[in-house]
């Protein structure tokens, strides 16, 4: 019996090696070229970027150990006031990014592909404790700090002018997770930059005190730290300047005293409805004026958008901005001194249709939007110049553009593009 097995194994090995040697030069590579990722193939990293477990002493991928921008998932959702599920945010955002790829990410607005040159790396997720929030916060802070002190890839000096040690530190785009993840992030940033100014897109204030909002009667307890109180906590710890700003606020309050308290912890406020008077550019201009030229941290809660666009989130609020409006405002912030950014409260698990009918479900739509916003953050962080319009690109290429106005002094809004014949 064992002789038969030996013969069988020998024949099998012979057959396999013959099959291999018969390939000759007729390999997949020689016939079809590199093993590229299609939108629907490959392992799950953000935008098909290289993926590395950057928190390990020996990263899983030997090659891309240096980066200028890192993506880091924080799948933490155990301090929410309503629906949990944001622990699936990093997975969902990566899945929503599948149609973004290096070499297929050039946009008119930025005039560049931010993934060109290998400066962006997906560093995976922080393994967070699921039954101990104090431990989870410590883990997220340690992870963020580990990446902050990672060497950068290029010689550019985006962050060194603001760093206490005068060195260049990478910028991290965090994939949440519920909004509480910003507290360990601000604690970590404080080590490098001191106080930072926060630009906070959200339908909610997130500055509520735990006692007044009824989530805890002990301000010093870990139970006091939730996704609705973390900015209050960050303020008490001296992590933020007095020039912070909320944009897109429209939730329901306990009364005007919530707004007074918000103002007392360093925030100014732009409501969702302000866009009707100011427009996207007016909103961006006020934000810029407010935050000034120091180090700025950008935090975007997906629920700043209307639930018509992004329903897969834990505490949806009706009457929000469109994706296009939010992107226009974000682009208006180009040139500020961002030291980091996040997209939080993406909870694709809220709608389980993802796995049943992905083409039309709410979870996928929300995740596609979140991934697109991450692409905007990365593009803005690595942009070489101001945001562009199509006519800038056409002009560079020698193509003719013509304004067709309505004759008034504003010159008219319709534009006629004459393509080369
Ligand atoms: Mn919110």
- Ligand 1: distance of its center to the CA of 167 in Å? 34
> pLDDT of 140-196, one tens digit each?
999 999 999 998 998 889 999 999 999 999 999 999 999 999 999 999 999 999 999
Q: Is 72 helix (H, G, I), strand (E, B) or coil?
A: strand
- Ligand 1: distance of its center to the CA of 72 in Å? 20
User: Per-residue confidence at 7, pLDDT binned at 50, 70, 90?
Assistant: low
Q: Examine the domain organization and report whether 383 and 420 are in the same domain.
A: no
User: Per-residue confidence at 214, pLDDT binned at 50, 70, 90?
Assistant: confident
Q: Examine the domain organization and report whether 214 and 109 are in the same domain.
A: yes
Residue 33 region, left (φ>0) first, then alpha (ψ -120 to 50), else beta?
Answer: left
* Range 184-206 burial, b when 16+ CB lie within 10 A, else e: bbbbbbbebbebbbbbbbbbbbb
- Ligand 1: distance of its center to the CA of 57 in Å? 35
Distance CA 195, CA 189 (A): 8
- Ligand 1: distance of its center to the CA of 311 in Å? 12
pLDDT of 398: 72
Q: Examine the domain organization and report whether 400 and 364 are in the same domain.
A: no
Kindly state whether residue 260 falls inside one of the protein's structural domains. yes
Between 215 and 321, the higher pLDDT residue: 321
Query: How many folded domains does the chain comprise?
Result: 2
What is the reported pTM? 0.89
Q: Please give the mean pLDDT across all residues of the chain.
A: 88
- Ligand 1: distance of its center to the CA of 179 in Å? 8
Kindly state whether residue 10 falls inside one of the protein's structural domains. no
Structure tokens at 40: 């629907």
pLDDT of 400: 62
Burial group, residue 164, by CB count within 10 angstroms (0-12, 13-18, 19+): exposed
Q: Examine the domain organization and report whether 235 and 252 are in the same domain.
A: yes
Distance CA 98, CA 161 (A): 35
Distance CA 269, CA 259 (A): 9
List the domain range (segments joined by +) for residue 419: 390-421
Between 184 and 406, the higher pLDDT residue: 184
> pLDDT of 59-79, one tens digit each?
555 445 689 999 999 999 999
Q: Examine the domain organization and report whether 156 and 169 are in the same domain.
A: yes
207: nearest Cα among 274, 168, 254:
254
Q: Is 171 helix (H, G, I), strand (E, B) or coil?
A: strand
- Ligand 1: distance of its center to the CA of 177 in Å? 12
**Residue 133 parent element (H or E):** helix 133-148
């Amino acid at each position: 019996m064992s002789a038969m097995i030996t013969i069988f194994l020998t024949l099998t090995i012979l057959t396999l090696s013959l099959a291999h040697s018969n390939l000759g030069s007729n390999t997949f590579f020689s016939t079809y070229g590199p093993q590229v990722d299609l939108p629907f193939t490959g392992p799950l990293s953000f935008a098909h970027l290289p993926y590395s477990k950057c928190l390990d002493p020996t990263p899983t991928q030997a090659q891309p150990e240096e980066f200028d921008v890192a993506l880091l998932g924080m799948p933490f959702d155990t301090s929410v006031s309503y629906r949990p599920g944001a622990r699936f945010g990093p997975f969902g955002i990566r899945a929503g990014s599948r149609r973004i790829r290096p070499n297929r990410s050039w946009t008119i607005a930025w005039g560049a592909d931010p993934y060109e040159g290998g400066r962006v790396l997906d560093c995976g997720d922080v393994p967070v404790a699921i039954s101990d929030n104090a431990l989870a916060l410590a883990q997220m802070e340690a992870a963020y700090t580990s990446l902050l002190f990672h060497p950068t890839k290029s010689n550019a000096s985006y962050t060194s002018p603001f760093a206490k040690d005068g060195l260049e530190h990478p910028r991290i785009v965090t994939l949440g997770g519920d909004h509480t993840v910003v507290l360990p992030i601000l604690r970590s940033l404080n080590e490098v930059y001191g106080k930072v100014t926060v630009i906070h897109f959200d339908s909610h204030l997130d500055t509520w005190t735990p006692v007044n909002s009824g989530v805890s009667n002990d301000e010093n307890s870990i139970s006091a730290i939730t996704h609705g109180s973390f900015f209050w906590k960050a303020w008490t710890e001296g992590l933020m300047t007095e020039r912070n700003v909320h944009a897109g606020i429209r939730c329901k309050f306990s009364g005007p005293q919530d707004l007074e308290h918000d103002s007392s912890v360093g925030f100014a406020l732009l409501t969702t409805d302000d866009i009707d008077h100011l427009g996207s550019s007016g909103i961006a201009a006020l934000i810029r004026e407010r935050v000034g030229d120091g180090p700025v941290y950008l935090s975007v809660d997906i629920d700043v958008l209307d639930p018509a666009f992004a329903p897969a989130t834990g505490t949806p609020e009706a009457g929000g901005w469109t994706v296009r409006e939010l992107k226009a405002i974000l682009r208006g912030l180009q040139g500020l001194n961002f030291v980091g950014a996040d997209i939080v409260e993406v909870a694709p698990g809220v709608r389980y249709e993802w796995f049943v009918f992905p083409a039309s479900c709410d979870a996928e739509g929300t995740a596609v939007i979140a991934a697109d916003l991450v692409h905007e953050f990365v593009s803005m962080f690595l942009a070489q110049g101001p945001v562009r319009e199509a006519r800038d690109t056409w002009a560079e290429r020698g193509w003719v553009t013509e304004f067709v106005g309505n004759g008034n002094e504003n010159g008219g809004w319709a534009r006629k593009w004459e393509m080369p014949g």
